[in-house]
Amino acid sequence: MDITHPQKPNEPAPILFVKEGRELYGAERATVRLLRELDPKLFQPHVLVLEYGPEPSEFARALKEAGVANVAAHGRRELKRKLREVVAAQNIRIVCSIGYKCHILCHLACRGLNVMKLAVLHGWVRRGLKLRLYTAVAEKLLYDFDGVLTVSPQLAGEIKVKNGRAACIGNGVDPDELERLAAIDAPVLLPTAKPLLLYVGRLEPEKGLLDLLKAFASLKDQAHLALIGAGPQEAELRAAVGRLGLSENVSFTGYLENPLPLIRQATLLTLPSYTEGTPLVVLEAMALGTAVIATNVGGTPEVVDDGESGLLTPARQPDVLREAIEWLLDDAELRATMVTNARKRVVAEFSQSAVARRFEMHVLEWLS
């Protein structure tokens, strides 16, 4: 994709990204890849990580491995103090928050500072009273930001910014990097006697995992299901596995820093979410040659061409999901065709370098 920058600056613009420190799920991996791909002639990136424990998070460690300077902050007050210190010391011109909590904290911490205030939006989580409150406050505050960048056109069309500066940069992957990481020995051993059905992500209600278990219950003799990830719904999901008689047919691996070897090993990857931005794990599976079944929500239809590069099903309909899984398990020829189409689509339309160029183009345009 040929993207022309509005006007290249004489020297790289110092930019501070602010994000919570967490495990390396989709938004975290996407952020690391974006920072690594930014043109050093255009931007000088720094990162302020809101940590929740004494040790660096997986996200902070990944930033360090990528050679991106980052500073830890513990708590709201320390984040405000350190943000202002970094802005002054590095002559920061742009502060870019990622995640609803950091949108709120950056809005407050940047008061009185002469900086451009941007946000990268991966989607909204409206589960539970606390998260709904955070989301409502963040959505209201984003109206006063200088620009909002989203991972899907749907989000860009929904978000309201007073100056109209909302744009989609998408999500992307580097297929060569994925192949290298997928070639590493798998971090856990899973049963191989049957086809492997995989879910990768946080274990939380909006991911639709109870629907997946219901769909899988009648297919347990045809495949083995592995849930890769951790989260607040794990106990409920384990109870459901026992209740449905699936204890010998479903594996919980916990959080894995590098699930890519298992993604490539799997026959199918499924993402039964109720809400998504542009799901990175779907792009990773498509690039690695694993067939995908996902729900028709958020930015997923922009990635998966239904019937061509994967299958899309309605959210909250486990019977339809079951039929889609059974169909692809039974039809190896169709799976192979979809896998070939999917990889071509990722290489042509969802490269990480294209995401970085779009980020640079919009930010430089707004900066000028």
pLDDT value of position 355: 94
pLDDT value of position 2: 46
Q: Which residues of the chain have pLDDT under 70?
A: 1-9, 126-127
Best CATH choice for the domain 13-172+352-367 from the list 3.40.50.2000, 3.40.50.300, 3.40.50.10490, 3.90.180.10: 3.40.50.2000
pLDDT value of position 3: 52
pLDDT value of position 28: 93
pLDDT value of position 22: 86
Pairing of strands 224-228, 250-254: parallel
pLDDT value of position 155: 86
- Per CATH, the homologous superfamily of domain 175-349 is Glycogen Phosphorylase B; (3.40.50.2000)
Residues of the chain with CATH 3.40.50.2000: 13-172+352-367, 175-349
What's the rounded Cα separation, in Å, for the pair 323 and 309? Answer: 17
E strands present in the chain: 13-20, 43-51, 70-74, 94-98, 116-121, 147-150, 166-168, 196-200, 224-228, 250-254, 268-271, 291-295, 311-313
pTM, rounded to two decimals:
0.87
pLDDT value of position 1: 41
